[in-house]
Amino acid sequence: MDLLNTLVDKGLRRELPTREEALAVLATSDDELLDVVAAAGKVRRKWFGRRVKLNYLVNLKSGLCPEDCSYCSQRLGSKAEILKYTWLKPEDASKAAAAGIAGGAKRVCLVASGRGPTDRDVDRVSKTIEAIKEGNEGVEVCACLGLLSDGQADRLRAAGADAYNHNLNTSEATYGEITTTHTYADRVETVRQAHAAGMSACSGLIAGMGESDADLVDVVFSLRELDPDSVPVNFLIPFEGTPLAKEWNLTPQRCLRILAMVRFVCPDVEVRLAGGREVHLRTMQPLALQIANSIFLGDYLTSEGQEGKADLAMIADAGFEVEGAGTTTLPEHRADAAAGCGSHAASGCGSHAADGCGSHAGGGCGPCGDGDGGAVAEEPAAAVPAAAGAGEARTDLVAVRRRGAGTDLPPNA
């Protein structure tokens, strides 16, 4: 296709596609899907080779958020039966992080529900960052605490935070339909504060909330303008008990097209396959690794994810390798630029737009913006319908997290 050849050429040159080209990717047919994936894969391999970065989420404070983000299981008024607990102690958070690091994660994402941290909360998180870094030399730490007040980004940076995650989630035009307790502009300002403080900026989106193709292109172009190092792509997990519980709009094919569009618009950034991948991509997850170069390992914030050992097997079987702790994630030109602005981060943090640190798209962290990823049901593959279409609810693939942080059970890592 001339379109794909053009997009590959632009991606290899880091040139921005037109909006019409981005929309055309989302409009491609199923017959063209493998061509789309292959084209996006060429751009991915140019900048990131066959490496896959592993990230691990620690939910520092779960539930009882005063914000009304419609996608989030922790929102004000949510009836989702998620874990609810107050701040983890630094030593407990560090212990939880160690499980992910032992599983191969090079970045730990510290997430807390709420509108934004108080100064006391920043002190808590600073102690947690110090505890994690003291016991795990070289590990990256990303914070995701919601909207930041003046000076808080600088304090987190001084405490050792490498990155800050705050997702835009959806287009500015439709943001008010998803959340009313804060604005799109509030989110943009927090990303800018984090960047100005010298932290690596991480900001992404949630797909599947009923948005149009134009909305998806608008938010990704806005992200390109903000220039985060990391863009987590979350897929809505329609948690029962949330306003978007009936929004089952995604198919594996559409998810792959969305990922490809993001890669073409943001060719040299860390594109993270975040929350919801197990629910909506299902057996097509390995194909998504041809496009994305980063995933979350194990569970998400309020939902269970694929087993950590299954993630590792999937990466190996697809012919990729886990990125080592001594490897710089970003291409040299981006890493040098980050170092020049005072950042000590090698790359941005994922999302929780689907429930990653940048993601609880089905159980997110308030203004932090995530879409809790869902879990893969522990059933034989034959029990899963061969072709679940858009609009078909797959609640059997959504499981609330009952292990790890905030419980007495070991984490999934």
142 belongs to the catalytic site: yes
Determine the 3-state secondary structure of 234 from DSSP: strand
Active-site position among 44, 72, 107, 255: 72
Backbone angles phi, psi at 57, to 5 degrees: -95, 140
Radius of gyration of the chain (CA): 19
| Residue from 29, 68, 41 nearest 290 by CA | 41
144 belongs to the catalytic site: no
Q: What is the DSSP letter of 62?
A: B
Burial class (CB in 10 A: 0-12, 13-18, 19+), 105: buried
Active-site position among 107, 142, 257, 349: 142
* Helix-then-strand count for the chain, H and E: 14, 10
The residue written with tokens 């390798």 in the block is: 321
Are the CB atoms for 294 and 270 separated by under 8 Å?
yes
Are the CB atoms for 363 and 73 separated by under 8 Å?
yes
Are the CB atoms for 334 and 48 separated by under 8 Å?
no
Active-site position among 44, 69, 144, 368: 69
Active-site position among 44, 75, 263, 272: 272
Active-site position among 124, 144, 202, 368: 202
272 belongs to the catalytic site: yes
Active-site position among 44, 65, 266, 277: 65
**In angstroms, rounded to a whole number, what is the distance separating the alpha carbons of residues 241 and 17?**
39
Active-site position among 44, 75, 107, 109: 109
Please, how many CA atoms are within 13 Å of residue 129, restricted to the half-sphere of its CB? Answer: 24
266 belongs to the catalytic site: no
**In angstroms, rounded to a whole number, what is the distance separating the alpha carbons of residues 189 and 50?**
34
Determine the 3-state secondary structure of 271 from DSSP: strand
Beta strands (DSSP E) in 62-204 are 107-112, 140-144, 163-165, 200-202
349 belongs to the catalytic site: no
Are the CB atoms for 286 and 275 separated by under 8 Å?
no
Largest distance between two CA atoms of the chain: 55
Which residue type sits at 58? Answer: V
| Residue from 105, 133, 373 nearest 233 by CA | 373
**In angstroms, rounded to a whole number, what is the distance separating the alpha carbons of residues 298 and 413?**
5
**In angstroms, rounded to a whole number, what is the distance separating the alpha carbons of residues 94 and 113?**
18
Q: How many residues does the chain have?
A: 413
What residues are annotated to the active site? 65, 69, 72, 109, 142, 202, 272
